[in-house]
Chains A and B, each alone.
Chain A
Amino acid sequence: MIRRRQLLAALPAGLLLSGCDALTRNPTAKAIVESGEQATYRWQRLVGRDGLAREFSAADISPVFKVNGTHAPTNPEWQRLAAGGFADWRLKVTGLVARELSLSLADLKRLPQRSQITRHDCVEGWSAIGGWTGPQLSHILKAAGLRDGARYIVFLCADDYGGEASKGGLQSSSRYYESVDLVDAFHPQTILAHSLNQQPLSTGNGAPVRLRVERQLGYKQAKYLMQIVVADSLAPFGGGHGGYWPDRGYEWYAGT
């Protein structure tokens, strides 16, 4: 009797297991489960639109700030700039702006600076605490002046990234980029960091400048910044999902 029951139980279990993978690839099922991201985005904007990420003390700083993603860009343009100590590096601000900008590292350092010791949460599960310094993105956006229709701030990077075996899923190489909405763009803790723990950014951590958008996961903290584009749509960039990892199935809104 028990044996027959076990058999009866094992049969649907086997079908279920092989069926589950098929279900994750079904477009309708995908659309339904992806609605969870919209729910999370709206919920977090409702309960914590202006919330500040926790700031830590110098004693909490992690002994090593783990380098993840690109360790050193192979892009010759970036390598030329790095060889010159980034003296010729310019951050371009373009798109739906009243005035296009081209900012040197010295220009960024002349703006009012913000320093913050925050926790970096990787989508893989680990966290590291570091102290970042740089101008608030809001200062730069105000200097450029946003035109009507501006909805997203897109960050174009210098590195071509090939993926990450530990994450599994889709793996393909392309230019790294990221984007945020205007709420996060104008958030006081959103800065363009040129220093980590009072040292200029290392190559692994995104020299010369990386984005810090402290209420989202690590993959939003775009490194090796080259250009900022103010846009009304994410469709023209990369795979159209607003970022290197979002193009590979990860949430665009990574406050999760």
Chain B
Amino acid sequence: MASTAPPVDDAPQFVTPPPAVRSVLRHHWLVRATHWLNAIAIIILLMTGLNIFGAHPRLYWGDAGSVDQRTRVWLETGASPPWNNPSGWIDIAGQRFDTTGFIGVSEKPTGGINFVAFPHWATLPSMRDLATARTWHFFAAWLLILNGLAWLLHGAATGRLWREILPSPAQLSPAHLWHDIVEHAKLRFPKGEAALSYEVLQRLAYAGVTLILIPTVILTGLAMSPGMDAAWPFLDALWGGRQSARSVHFIAMAGIAGFLILHLLLVILSGPFRQVGAMITGRMTIGGEK
């Protein structure tokens, strides 16, 4: 290419390098809008979901399961005497963990003992209220689904999904993965131009949540609906029965909650004002970092 271009004169070429400090459009408006709607939906779903779980704090494998079928229980929360000073616990696969103050037994906002699976500050509404929790849960579920579809269609249409979210084969090489793990462990985050694209661990986390965990909670949620199971019989078959779907729903929820904590922690560690600002305005100033 360059060889075919005839030399014009000796005047210097105007190849202006990008300024060292510049503001770039980091996030498309649709990505920003769906991010925050998703945040609202997920927080409502998590908190109402923990309230709903409190109505029957047991998980089973298979099609059916109730208090009359103890053999199918693999997770349960509860409380043990003395009742003036009870202990809260969670049983997971036959192993008991003391969770007094958090799971099984917690303090009421007004003081006093609350015998409920999850404490008032983690649930919506804060008190036991299955009806209200369900109404909000299903509204937020619609929001999660429609919002997620908009994000997915936009990502697929623009190619952003594979350019920005899915890790490239080169990024998945063991050496590269190890490098990124070390960088994260040292809390060294990409600066300058490198901050304009996600690193491999970040991509794996985002792809894992958006393409695996969220579709899993949606499909297991639908599999718990008797109406949807009749409409689409593959739904509960996919998980090995409705109670298995309820169990997987809970496990995927725990995965999303874990991601949320990690995500917030890394945003705080890597410059919360810059990161949150970019997700609100779309613009990020790069270069000139310390």
Contacts and interface: CB of A to CB of B under 8 A. Distances in A.
Given A125-B52, A127-B65, A20 B135 contact: no
A7 interface: no
Range, interface on chain A: 35 or more
A123 B68 CA distance: 17
B124 A24 contact: yes
Interface string A14-52: 000100110010000010111111011000100110011
B230 A52 contact: yes
B33 interface: no
Contacts of B56: 122, 124-126, 166
A14 to B, nearest CB: 9
Interface string B97-130: 0000000000000000000000001001111111
A34 to B, nearest CB: 6
Contact of B229 (A32, A53, A168, A250): A53
B226 A20 contact: no
A121 B245 CA distance: 13
**Most B C-beta atoms less than 10 A away, residue of A24, A56, A126, A251:** A126
Given A47-B231, A127-B65, A255 B131 contact: no
Given A53-B229, A215-B227, A128 B68 contact: yes
B286 interface: no
Contact of A51 (B67, B141, B231, B236): B231
A63 interface: yes
**Most A C-beta atoms less than 10 A away, residue of B64, B131, B226, B230:** B226
Interface string A120-163: 01111111110000000000000000000000000000000000
A210 interface: no
Given A121-B226, A169-B131, A126 B67 contact: yes
Interface in A68-117: none
A17 B52 CA distance: 17
Given A56-B63, A250-B134, A216 B227 contact: yes
A128 B64 CA distance: 5
B132 A169 contact: yes
Interface in A145-190: 166-170
A64 interface: yes
A121 B63 contact: no
A44 B242 contact: no
A256 interface: yes
Range, interface on chain B: 35 or more
A250 B63 CA distance: 24
B159 interface: no
Contacts, number: 165
A36 B141 CA distance: 9
A35 B141 CA distance: 12
Contact of B64 (A32, A119, A167, A245): A119
Given A37-B138, A216-B226, A249-B135, A167 B66 contact: no
B265 to A, nearest CB: 12
A64 B70 CA distance: 11
Interface string B25-39: 000000000000000
B227 A123 contact: no
Interface in B135-173: 135-136, 138-139, 141-142
B128 A167 contact: yes
Nearest to A40: B138
A5 B231 contact: no
B242 A127 contact: yes
B178 interface: no
**Most A C-beta atoms less than 10 A away, residue of B130, B138, B246:** B130
Given A5-B272, A20-B124, A249-B135, A169 B226 contact: no
Contacts of B242: 119, 121, 127
Given A54-B230, A215-B230, 13 more contacts: A21-B124, A21-B127, A30-B135, A47-B231, A48-B230, A63-B68, A123-B134, A126-B56, A127-B63, A127-B64, A128-B66, A167-B55, A250-B131
28 contacts: A5-B268, A5-B272, A17-B126, A21-B127, A33-B139, A44-B225, A44-B227, A48-B228, A56-B63, A60-B63, A60-B64, A62-B69, A64-B66, A64-B68, A66-B67, A66-B68, A119-B63, A119-B242, A121-B226, A124-B55, A124-B130, A126-B56, A126-B58, A126-B65, A128-B68, A166-B128, A248-B131, A250-B134
